[in-house]
Structure 1
Amino acid sequence: MPLYKTITVNPTTNVFIWKIEESFETLSKGIALTQNCANRVENMKSDLHRRGFMSIRHLLALGGYTDHDLYYDENGKPHLTGDKHISITHSFNFSAIIISDSEVGIDIEKQRNKIQKIAHKFTPIEEYRTIANDDALMRKLTIVWCAKESLYKSFAEKGVSFLQNIYVEEFALEDFKTAATVTFEEKTVKYNVDYLEFEGFTCAYALLSEKQ
């Protein structure tokens, strides 16, 4: 059972990360899906996506939930029955969830150099021109992307632009945390963002800031 990492962010917030090594058949054992989710996974063409889908259900179980406790709203945002909030992510052979008493978002991304080619679409790239080391630039841009994706998931309103509406404050790679703001229409919401790197992947998770 490859639970890769558990992070206790605070007394009411936990992150669970899974390294997907098992077959779909192995991951399916002991997991009861709703009919809708059973249909969804049956129609997935990618075996890795199917395995990622099932690994999320194991992470839910670690948090004390089942597939029947999970549902999605009209914007595609996941929710749990009860008072807890959840966010979900899956990238290649890693998946993760975050469960909290407050609004949250989480994202995992594989670190790849091609992110430099699309950076201008999600962040003011001139802010990073001083980073001469390509590896450091790739890592920092991946953190920024993950941070913005986690905020996008938490804020969950159609029309939000990574470039125009989500701002991530400056940070050093070794800080492992930063702050960010979503400004959209009449709303301004502040978040605290933590991140970690492992096995060529980056994970970032965002919680509402107490200083709203």
Structure 2
Amino acid sequence: MSAAHLLSAQLLAISPGCQALLLPILADEPTLRTGLPLTQPELDDLALIRHPAQRTEWLACRVAVRQLVEQLGGVYAGLYKDEYGKPHLRNLPWSISLSHTTGWAAAVVHQSRPVGIDIEPIRDQFQRVVPRTLSADEIAHAAGIPARLAVYWCAKESLYKLYGKRQLTFREHLLIDPFDDGATQLIGHVRLPAHTETLTICCFPIGPGLLAVAY
């Protein structure tokens, strides 16, 4: 991509060995594909995406993760998915996560531990999904406030992507400790019968609304 297309890109230092990149999607599909390594499984996945905007979002995520890998001194050789659909770097042991929404793409790379990322606009949808995504304590804390509901949703999505497996629900298995309004660091938990984990989540008011990184 040209310098003009990257003018508003925002590089975020999350922790040692962990960086995230938020990229506004200002380029068309041919520009995004220029010089971008895509494996055959990736090309097969892209062929299944029909909507032009969704294709550019998919490609922009890979542009973002490629830039992060190169920023950290690695060589980007494309991605593959595991049995759960979680993306991984080919030929590198680093953990990655991708997210996109209308007009924006984001990626994060962590060199030593699992990581998850989500970007979200603040929208009315969060009110509708409260009963199936928030615990009773989280519902009480959110108090119907749109900004808090957005934080809960974005933070839980980042936890879900970090864990990278199935058979878990946002309401029962992914939990967020109460937080102060405007907090940029949260504590999250993955609680399953055979697996319990406490994780840090960085949350930024940025781009389309919110960006959360769990690690």
TM-score band w.r.t. shorter chain = 0.7 to 0.9
Report the alpha carbon displacement of residue 11 of structure 1 after superposing the two structures with TM: 2.2
Distance 1:21 1:196 in 2: 22
Tell me what 1:141 maps to: 149
Q: How is 1:103-118 mapped onto 2 (pairs within 5 angstroms)?
A: 103-118=114-129
Q: Which runs of 4+ in 1 moved over 3 A?
A: 65-69, 125-132
In the superposition, relative to structure 1, how do residues 69 and 26 fare at CA in structure 2: closer, same or farther (>3 Å)? Answer: closer
Q: How is 1:170-189 mapped onto 2 (pairs within 5 angstroms)?
A: 170-189=178-197
User: Normalised by the size of structure 1, how large is the TM-score?
Assistant: 0.88
Q: Does 2:21 correspond to 1:21?
A: no
Distance 1:167 1:184 in 2: 11
- 1:33–1:67 Cα contact (<8 Å) kept: no
**3-state secondary structure, aligned to 1:175:** coil
Distance 1:179 1:126 in 2: 15
Tell me what 2:88 maps to: 79
Q: Does 2:14 correspond to 1:4?
A: no
User: Which amino acid is 2:135 matched to?
Assistant: P
Distance 2:210 2:131 in 1: 19
Report the alpha carbon displacement of residue 57 of structure 1 after superposing the two structures with TM: 2.1
Distance 1:122 1:102 in 2: 26
Distance 2:177 2:36 in 1: 41
Tell me what 1:210 maps to: none
Distance 2:15 2:48 in 1: 38
Structure 2 segments unaligned to the other structure (5+ residues): none
Identity %: 24
Question: For the aligned residues, what is the CA RMSD?
Answer: 2.0
User: Which amino acid is 1:111 matched to?
Assistant: I
Report the alpha carbon displacement of residue 125 of structure 1 after superposing the two structures with TM: 5.5
- 2:116–2:158 Cα contact (<8 Å) kept: yes
